Amino acid sequence: MKLDNYRKGFEAFLKLERSLSSHSVQAYMRDVAKLVDYFDLSDQDPSPNQISQKDIRSFINHLSDLGIAARTQARILSGLKSFFDFLILEGVLTESPAELIEAPKIGMKLPEVLSIEEIDGMISKIDLSKPEGERNRAILETLYSCGLRVSELTGLKLSNFLKEEGFVRVEGKGGKERLVPIGQSALKYIDFYLEAQRNHQEIDPDSVDILFLNRRGKALSRVMIFNIVKNLAKRAGIQKNISPHTFRHSFATHLVEGGADLRAVQEMLGHESITTTEIYTHIDRQYLKDAIIQFHPRAKKRQSRF
């Protein structure tokens, strides 16, 4: 069988065995489609066991020639490795032609992080006289307290709060659940929101158990959370490129700066690999470097010579 014939089986595997979201499945399928298109361009139609390491290297070079960024090339290569691993599981291949192919070198782009003062500044700009004021304060407190992804925030359920224990059950990527500690401050402002707004509004039957609701009693969209955060950052005079995810980065960075164990941070963030979490140690080191440049007398003298 030719390479293209295995795509449907790979798609089913991603959905049923790995329980990936439709967005993630589509991304993997696009990666495989790019390889199929590459062979079509060169008038080839190989079966999986005819594809060599040389072919994969040529394909990556082809992506580079098209002007595709190194970060995107690395992601596509990762998708292809998953595809060939699937073919090994199916007994189609005995080894992956992409296994020993190294991803293109990419520079590490450190995410934006808010200081505690900037977070407090954004919260102080919330107009509590408006009906949505208490809700928006509870949203920001929860984002920062738990380090949630925006999709996890919009899907938070009242039934998943373990208030006495100080935890909330979060449904992350691929439907995987984890328990995340939630601070007393966030719980306090959630209670304020419940008393001031949510307990007194008409709620859509599909959203009865959802914590954060819009004025029509339905779950908030990701776009609405994004707009709330953007508007508050603007009102607080913050020039950084802020999104709801910035609170997640800030949560993790502040924990690492405070000496938290990296494995514990990994668990709270729901990262599958510790490598993903390690970016926050780089942020911490950058913070130390900046502090030395700013405050160390030798660093100051060295800078003043140029």
Q: Name the one residue in this structure whose structure tokens are 């914590």.
A: 211
Active site residue 149: yes
Active site residue 34: no
Q: 10 Å Cβ neighbour count for 101? A: 16
Phi, psi of 101 (to 5 degrees): -80, 125
Q: Pick the catalytic residue: 198, 248, 249, 254? A: 248
Active site residue 189: no
Q: Name the one residue in this structure whose structure tokens are 């401050």.
A: 185
Q: Pick the catalytic residue: 34, 173, 178, 235? A: 173
Nearest CA-CA partner of 80 in 117, 119, 28: 28
Q: Name the one residue in this structure whose structure tokens are 């990527």.
A: 173
Active site residue 245: yes
Q: Pick the catalytic residue: 34, 178, 271, 287? A: 271
Q: Pick the catalytic residue: 75, 178, 230, 245? A: 245
The number of residues in the chain equals 306
Q: Pick the catalytic residue: 28, 189, 193, 280? A: 280
Active site residue 282: no
Q: Pick the catalytic residue: 135, 149, 198, 249? A: 149
CB–CB of 269/248 below 8 Å? Answer: yes
Element (H, E) at 178: strand 177-181
Active site residue 287: no
Residue 49 DSSP SS3 = helix
Element (H, E) at 284: helix 279-295
Alpha helical stretches, state H, the chain: 7-12, 22-41, 53-65, 70-89, 116-124, 133-146, 150-154, 184-196, 222-235, 244-257, 262-269, 274-277, 279-295, 297-304
Q: In 174-209, which positions are buried (b, 16+ CB within 10 angstroms) versus exposed (e)?
A: eeeeeebebeeebbebbebbbebbbeeeeeeeebee
CA distances from 100 to 56, 96, 103, 108, 135 (A): 10, 8, 9, 22, 50
CA–CA separation, 163 and 179 (whole Å): 12
Task: List the beta bridge partners of residue 167.
Answer: 162, 181
The set of catalytic residues is 149, 173, 245, 248, 271, 280
